[in-house]
């Protein structure tokens, strides 16, 4: 895939009038943006290193805390999660693996920047462990380094804002704070827009736009079921509004088998489904772990849903190592590569090998292979070269509110990517 083609793909998801990138401009109150400003943890037992990093971050208006051991840092995670973690591999009486486990247990979605004077092979092994835990592990930084390296890391990191939690999912739903944002999916074979995944967001009156990690943990099973009903009904209704632009997108949403079994799906779909003959159906994404635990139930639900034009995608595939026997019995339309394997697939031979195997497996089952979590050009080129069908990730386009997606489609209606 050439650089010009990459530019064409990325530019397709930006306004043609030269204005601000709508995928990067959530409607968030100014006070909320300030309260959620990026923060950093610096974890290193060398005082000089900590000082260089914290002073550089301060000059960039990024608040930071420094820690000299893994235990101190992990304990601090319970007070709040930072946007980026600068992490030394070897610490006194502890090491980076302890911190990686602590971050993973808390569902950390920020950036992890490894640092060490150790050999490159050790750094790469630690990085792979972090990736397997689902963390965003950036290329290791070898000591000694200059302050410019820190500045470049921050510039490249596109730091997430600090997480704010709200206590009640039902409150958010009942107050109408929840909405679906859509992340475009690109057909890597034809270089055209293929569809979009609906991702739940909370538009909080005080905190602005919140991602699921801020309001889903701790929710009851009944709350999850109510949310699933809202998400499916919203996506079905949104399709008609989006299709009015002249573009018929195949929409997808996330759900769980537990939530689906608690809903009257046929009635929900009949009441909300589009009446257009051009409706391509809806994709419900369930995780591989659900398939492993409830394969017979998944088969039953998937078969029933096909009657109504609803198909299944197996999400996070490769994470749970499900048996092929179970996979064989599930009527699924998409196999989504787990982002931990897609990440660094352009440079990590092991990840690339796993991605290639999953892509081939999807094709052998007559399904579409979808790579999510594409965050850089190398990974996009890699999965394209492997024959992956659909690409999705921040490098291509970020999730956006429905009206922003509609505005974009109105600008680019029926225009090919290349």
- Tell me if residue 401 falls in helix, strand or coil: strand
8 Å CB contact between 180 and 238 = yes
What gap in Å lies between CA 342 and CA 351, rounded to an integer? Answer: 7
* Mean pLDDT to the nearest integer, 81-104: 86
Which range (40-44, 88-92, 140-144, 413-417) has the least confidence?
413-417
The more confidently predicted of residues 123 and 281 is: 281
**Is residue 275 over pLDDT 70?**
yes
Distance in angstroms (rounded) separating the CA atoms of residues 417 and 410: 15
If we measure between CA atoms, which residue out of 17, 138, 41, 5 comes closest to residue 410?
A: 17
Tell me phi and psi for residue 391, to 5 degrees: -120, 145
Place of tokens 């030394």: 88
pTM, rounded to two decimals:
0.70
| Contact present, 106 and 81 (Cβ < 8 Å) | yes
C-alpha pair distances (Å), 405 with each of 294, 400, 413: 35, 6, 11
Res. 95 pLDDT band, cuts 50 70 90: confident
Distance of CA 365 to the CA centre of its chain: 25
> What's the average model confidence in pLDDT over 108-137?
85
For residue 139 the two structure tokens come to: 């290329």
Query: What pLDDT score does 143 carry?
Result: 82
pLDDT tens digits for 150-163? 998 988 887 765 55
What is the tens place of the pLDDT at every residue in 304-316? 888 999 999 988 8
The answer to whether the beta carbons of residues 274 and 239 sit under 8 Å apart is yes
CA distance 414 to 418: 12
What's phi and psi for 333, nearest 5 deg?
A: -105, -25
Q: How far apart are CA 356 and CA 374, in angstroms?
A: 15
Burial class (CB in 10 A: 0-12, 13-18, 19+), 213: middle
Encoded tokens for 359: 């892509």
Q: What pLDDT was estimated at residue 310?
A: 93
Percent of the chain as helix, strand, coil, to the nearest 5: 45, 20, 35
User: pLDDT band for position 233 (50/70/90)?
Assistant: very high
Spell out the domains of the chain, with CATH numbers in brackets: 3-15+165-412 (3.20.20.450), 37-157 (3.40.50.2300)
The DSSP element (H or E) to which 261 belongs, if any, is: helix 257-261
**What are the Cα distances from residue 15, in Å, to 63, 74, 341?**
33, 42, 31
Q: Residue holding tokens 């905190």? A: 207
Tell me the C-alpha distance between 87 and 95, whole Å.
9
Cβ neighbours of residue 69 closer than 8 Å, sequence gap 6 or more: 43, 45, 91, 92, 93, 94
Find out whether the peptide bond into 2 is cis, omega within 30 degrees of 0. no
Low-confidence winner among 191-205, 226-240, 250-264, 285-299 (lowest mean pLDDT): 285-299
Confidence of residue 26 (pLDDT cuts 50, 70, 90): very low
pLDDT of residue 104 exceeding 50, the answer is yes
pLDDT (tens digit, 9 = 90+) per residue, 332-386? 899 999 888 898 899 888 889 999 999 999 999 999 999 999 988 899 999 999 9
pLDDT score, position 45: 85
The residues, ordered by sequence, that sit 6+ positions from 296 with a Cβ below 8 Å of its Cβ are none
Tokens representing residue 203 in the block: 């538009």
Burial of 95 by CB count in 10 Å (0-12 exposed, 13-18 middle, 19+ buried)?
Answer: middle
What average pLDDT score do residues 279-295 get?
87
Mean pLDDT of the 103-125 span: 83
User: Is it the case that residue 106 has pLDDT exceeding 90?
Assistant: no
């Amino acid at each position: 895939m050439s650089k010009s083609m990459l530019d064409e793909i990325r530019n397709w998801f930006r306004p043609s009038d030269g204005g601000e990138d709508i995928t990067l401009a959530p409607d968030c109150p100014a006070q909320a943006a300030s309260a959620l400003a990026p923060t950093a943890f610096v974890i290193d037992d060398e005082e000089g290193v900590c000082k260089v990093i914290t002073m550089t971050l301060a000059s960039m208006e990024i608040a930071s805390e420094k820690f000299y051991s893994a235990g101190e840092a992990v304990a601090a995670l319970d007070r709040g999660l930072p946007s980026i973690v600068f992490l030394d591999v070897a610490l006194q009486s502890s090491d980076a693996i302890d911190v990686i486990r602590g971050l993973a247990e808390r569902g950390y979605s920020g950036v992890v920047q490894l640092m060490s004077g150790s050999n490159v092979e050790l750094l790469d092994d630690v990085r792979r462990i972090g990736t397997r835990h689902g963390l965003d592990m950036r290329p290791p930084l070898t000591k000694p380094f200059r302050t410019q390296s820190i500045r470049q890391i921050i510039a490249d990191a596109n730091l997430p804002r600090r997480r704010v939690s709200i206590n009640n999912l039902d409150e958010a739903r009942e107050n109408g704070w929840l909405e679906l944002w859509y992340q475009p999916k690109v057909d890597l074979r034809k270089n055209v827009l293929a569809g979009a995944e609906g991702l739940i967001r909370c538009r909080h009156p005080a905190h602005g736009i919140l991602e699921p990690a801020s309001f889903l943990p701790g929710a009851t099973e009944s709350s999850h079921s109510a949310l699933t009903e809202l998400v499916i009904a919203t996506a079905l209704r949104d399709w008609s509004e989006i299709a009015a632009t002249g573009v018929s997108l195949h929409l997808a949403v996330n759900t769980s088998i537990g939530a689906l079994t608690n809903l009257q799906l046929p009635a929900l779909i009949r009441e909300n489904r589009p009446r257009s003959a051009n409706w391509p159906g809806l994709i419900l994404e369930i995780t591989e772990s659900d398939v492993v635990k409830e394969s017979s139930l998944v088969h039953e639900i998937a078969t029933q849903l096909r009657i109504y034009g609803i198909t299944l995608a197996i999400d996070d595939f490769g994470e749970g190592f499900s048996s092929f026997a179970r996979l064989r019995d599930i009527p699924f339309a998409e196999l989504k590569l787990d982002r931990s394997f897609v990440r660094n697939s352009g440079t990590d031979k092991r990840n690339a090998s796993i991605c290639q195997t999953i892509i081939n497996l999807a094709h052998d089952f007559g399904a579409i292979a979808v790579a999510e979590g594409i965050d850089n050009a190398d990974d996009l080129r890699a999965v394209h070269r492997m024959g992956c069908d659909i690409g999705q990730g921040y490098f291509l386009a970020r999730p956006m509110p429905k009206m922003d997606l509609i505005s974009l489609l109105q600008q680019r209606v029926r225009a090919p990517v290349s």
